[in-house]
């Protein structure tokens, strides 16, 4: 009789422990992804962030230069994150707070596409992937919505910047020309560069050229080791091809490439 009572007590205790772990063990309150643009909002005390998690093309990486139609079986996981005045927002792992609210359109943007976002949610996350008709950066409709209790925003690293901005097709190149400031002189230099690049483009070599000013609020805060300007980053589907402050090195690269293709 005594043994049966002990067994009953142990069974009850075991049931309680199992019940506790079942209630909490599978619940996830953290969302981690990449900033993919702002959502539409009507309340000035709330802000919506689109957070990309992954898809079946590039995995957890985003491609800023993906313009073509997605495959019919394109699947993407993404969410809308609501930031309120009660949400604590920090820069990376530091204690430095970031003020996203109240919304001020005269203030330079804090977020850039690709910023890593780690959010603690007020309700458990139910992970959902869905079939989408457009790429992650261009269609934000019907994303599941969650409210954030805490958000940490991380600047792009150099490796992340290169991954995001690199083209994804073979024989395609993207030249990012970074100038110290957005000035008339900078644009004149860029247009001269463009004219020379025009003669380097062939059916086999596709070159996109982007102007970027380091003093622009929209320029991602990344570690690019820039000490002199203009600063050139040449990217391909393999990643970083050339990094230089001498534009002639870029043209020598394409001359060598054309010679190899002859």
At residue 76, the pLDDT reads: 92
Judge whether 151 and 90 are in contact, CB under 8 Å: yes
> Do 194 and 160 meet the contact criterion of CB atoms below 8 Å apart?
no
Q: Is the pLDDT of residue 8 over 60?
A: no
Residue 107 has pLDDT above 60, yes or no: no
Residue 226 above 90 pLDDT? Answer: no
Indicate whether 147 pLDDT > 90. Answer: yes
Distance of CA 151 to the CA centre of its chain: 15
For residue 97, the 8-state DSSP code is B
Q: Which two tokens stand for residue 136?
A: 């992650």
Task: Provide the CA 223 distance to its chain's centre, in angstroms.
Answer: 15
| Residue 106 pLDDT grade (very low, low, confident, very high; cuts 50, 70, 90) | low
152-207 pLDDT tens trace: 999 888 888 888 889 988 888 999 998 988 899 999 999 988 888 877 666 567 78
User: What CATH architecture is 161-261?
Assistant: 3-Layer(aba) Sandwich (3.40)
Q: What is the mean pLDDT of residues 40-45?
A: 68
CA-nearest of 106, 114, 104 to 45 is 104
Nearest-CA neighbor of 142 among 81, 79, 84?
Answer: 79
pLDDT of residue 2: 47
Cβ neighbors of 144 (< 8 A, separation 6 or more) are: 79, 80, 126, 128
Q: Are 90 and 153 in contact (CB under 8 A)?
A: yes
Mean pLDDT of the chain: 81
**Residue percentage of the chain with pLDDT more than 70:** 79
- The strands making up 172-179's β-sheet, listed across from edge to edge, are 206-213, 172-179, 231-236, 239-244
Domain span(s) for CATH 3.40.30.10 in the chain: 161-261
50-98 pLDDT per residue, tens: 999 999 999 998 888 788 889 999 999 999 999 988 999 998 899 988 8
Per-residue pLDDT at 222: 62
- Give the per-residue pLDDT at 157: 84
């Amino acid at each position: 009789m005594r043994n049966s009572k002990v067994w009953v007590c142990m069974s009850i205790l075991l049931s309680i422990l199992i019940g506790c772990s079942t209630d909490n063990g599978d619940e996830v309150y953290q969302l981690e992804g990449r900033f993919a643009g702002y959502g539409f909002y009507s309340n000035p005390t709330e802000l919506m962030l689109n957070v990309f998690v992954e898809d079946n093309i590039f995995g957890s990486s985003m491609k800023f230069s993906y313009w073509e139609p997605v495959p019919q079986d394109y699947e993407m996981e993404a969410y809308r994150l609501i930031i309120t005045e009660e949400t604590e927002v920090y820069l990376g792992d530091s204690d430095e707070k970031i003020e996203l609210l109240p919304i001020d359109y005269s203030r330079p943007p804090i977020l850039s596409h690709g910023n890593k976002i780690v959010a603690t949610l007020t309700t458990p996350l139910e992970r959902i992937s869905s079939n989408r008709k457009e790429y992650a950066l261009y269609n934000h409709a019907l994303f599941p919505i969650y409210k954030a209790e805490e958000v940490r925003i991380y600047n792009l690293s150099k490796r992340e910047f290169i991954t995001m901005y690199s083209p994804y097709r073979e024989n395609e190149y993207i030249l990012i020309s970074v100038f110290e400031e957005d000035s008339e002189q900078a644009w004149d230099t860029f247009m001269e560069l463009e004219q020379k690049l025009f003669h380097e483009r062939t059916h086999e070599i596709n070159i996109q050229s982007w102007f970027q000013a380091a003093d622009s609020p929209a320029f991602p805060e990344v570690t690019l080791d820039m000490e002199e300007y203009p600063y050139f980053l040449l990217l391909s589907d393999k990643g970083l091809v050339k990094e230089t402050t001498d534009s002639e090195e870029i043209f020598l690269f394409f001359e060598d490439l054309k010679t190899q293709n002859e």
